């Protein structure tokens, strides 16, 4: 089968489409014939080996894991002996390792039946973005109806989902994005949209109960200035430094948190069977409709990553597998 592999750190050119053996599912695994996968920042971070401090975990000189892609949707091809909820022929979506391929294996709890009214590409766009937005706003932000919530980076893969989930919780939502994305962010439910080219949200004087920061392009002190005294700042991303990257922001959050009345929290979303069920319901009901910017065939994974890495994608970038 065809799969995207990389054996050294570097730019998107290090990713190659290679013939590899089709994976064999273990007792608790499901083999998925991939229909679509989506690209996430984690893919290009692994590809480049940045921030470099992370190489302590994923390989000092070369990557330990050579396959990319975690968001997947497709059809069940085969199941392990202990799998009870899924069967061959089921259309599923969820998380796996090595989604940029014709076939991929995933543990049964990492997958759910795809709603019939959701396309395979939309389903593949949902997992990482929805886990991040849901766990950030619900668990870290303790979001409540009527609260003022600001999504910084509202036009990105996570931001577009965060806007919709914040509205689902009944919040008054402000989205921050570029000029070309203003109408799109408004169309997915934002009550107010700030064009960062024309207005600085940190100087508006408008206070927010929750700031969900998908970008990390403003300083912590600037964000705290527009946060209510008991408000919550959620760090989803940070500056893309070569050596420690977003860790610089996270260290500031950890050091400052004990000394201020505001809640400053870090977010590291994780896979959850319960939240995957919630995700499925949100997709099925139309409460969350993934925004897809561009589609690339499997043979152009490197170009898809290159585009996402520029930081201007409107929603998700999808890999399609014939």
Euclidean distance between CA atoms 186 and 175, whole angstroms? 8
- Tokens read off for 282: 């949100």
Euclidean distance between CA atoms 62 and 10, whole angstroms? 10
DSSP 188: T
Give me the pLDDT at residue 55, please.
72
Q: Which domains does the chain have, with CATH numbers?
A: 2-126+290-320 (3.90.180.10), 129-266 (3.40.50.720)
What is the largest distance, in Å, between two alpha-carbon atoms of the chain? 59
Euclidean distance between CA atoms 106 and 122, whole angstroms? 19
Nearest CA to 35 among 6, 77, 84?
77
Give me the pLDDT at residue 178, please.
96
Q: Is the pTM of this model over 0.75?
A: yes
Nearest CA to 129 among 80, 86, 163?
163
Residue 143 and residue 164 in contact, taking contact as beta carbons nearer than 8 Å: no
3-state per-residue secondary structure call for 277-291: HHHHHHHHHCCCCCC
Residue 314 and residue 81 in contact, taking contact as beta carbons nearer than 8 Å: no
Euclidean distance between CA atoms 243 and 240, whole angstroms? 9
Regions of the chain with pLDDT less than 70: 51, 53, 238-250, 259
Give me the pLDDT at residue 223, please.
94
Give me the pLDDT at residue 243, please.
43
């Amino acid at each position: 089968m065809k799969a995207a592999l990389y054996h050294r750190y570097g730019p998107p050119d290090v990713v190659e489409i290679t013939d590899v053996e089709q994976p064999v599912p273990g007792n608790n695994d499901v083999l998925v014939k991939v229909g679509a996968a989506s690209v996430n920042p984690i893919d290009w971070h692994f590809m480049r080996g940045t921030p470099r401090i992370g190489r302590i975990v994923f390989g000092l000189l070369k990557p330990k894991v050579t396959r990319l892609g975690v968001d997947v949707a497709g059809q069940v091809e085969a199941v392990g002996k202990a799998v009870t909820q899924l069967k061959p022929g089921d259309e599923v979506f969820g998380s796996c390792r090595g989604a940029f391929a014709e076939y991929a294996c995933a543990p049964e709890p990492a997958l759910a039946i795809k709603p019939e009214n959701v396309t395979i590409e939309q389903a593949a766009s949902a997992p990482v973005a929805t886990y991040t937005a849901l766990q950030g706003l619900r668990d870290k932000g303790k979001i409540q109806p009527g609260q003022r919530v600001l999504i910084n980076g509202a036009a990105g893969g996570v931001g577009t989902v965060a806007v919709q989930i914040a509205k689902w919780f009944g919040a008054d939502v402000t989205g921050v994005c570029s000029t070309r994305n203003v109408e799109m962010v408004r169309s997915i439910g934002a009550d107010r949209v700030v064009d960062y080219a024309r207005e600085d949200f940190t100087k508006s004087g408008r206070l927010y109960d929750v700031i969900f920061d998908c970008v990390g392009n403003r300083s912590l002190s600037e964000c705290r200035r527009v946060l209510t005294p008991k408000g919550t700042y959620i760090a989803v991303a940070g500056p893309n430094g070569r050596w420690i990257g977003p860790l610089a922001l996270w260290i500031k959050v950890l050091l400052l948190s004990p000394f201020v009345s505001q809640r400053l929290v870090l977010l590291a979303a994780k896979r959850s069977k319960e939240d995957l069920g919630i995700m499925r319901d949100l997709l099925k009901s139309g409460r969350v409709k993934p925004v897809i910017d561009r589609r690339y065939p499997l043979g152009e994974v490197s170009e898809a990553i290159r585009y996402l890495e520029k930081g201007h994608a409107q929603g998700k970038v999808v890999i399609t597998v014939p």
